[in-house]
Amino acid sequence: LHNASSKSPPILLMHGAKDNYVPLISSEAFYDGLQKKGVRVSLHIIRDGHHNAYLWGSHHVLMVHEFFEWYLRQKI
C-alpha cells in the first residue's frame, strides 16, 4: 500500500467471507487505502468462501480470467 499510486496496475481482490485465517476487514482496509491512492481496484467478497481459493467455484476463476483479459486489452 505504501508504494501504490495512480500509476499502479489495476488490482482485483477476492476474499472469502468465511476466511478463518485472514479477516475480511484486512481486504476492506486494503481496498479503501488503494482507492485513496487512486488505484483502480475491485473487491469481490465470496459469501461462502473460506481461505482456500481452490474451494471456490469456477465462476470465480472466470472472474479472474475476465479481469486479466480486460487489463491486457487496455495495454494493447
pLDDT at residue 75 is higher than 80 = no
Cell numbers given for 18 = 468465511
Q: Using one digit for the tens of pLDDT, what is the confidence trace for 26-70?
A: 999 999 999 999 999 999 998 888 887 666 677 888 888 898 898
Task: Determine the average pLDDT of the residues in 8-32.
Answer: 94
What is residue 12's predicted lDDT score, i.e. its pLDDT? 93
Q: Cell match 494493447: residue?
A: 76
Alpha helices in the chain (DSSP H): 24-36, 58-75
57: phi > 0 → left, psi -120 to 50 → alpha, else beta; which?
beta
Instruction: Supply the pTM of this predicted model.
Output: 0.81
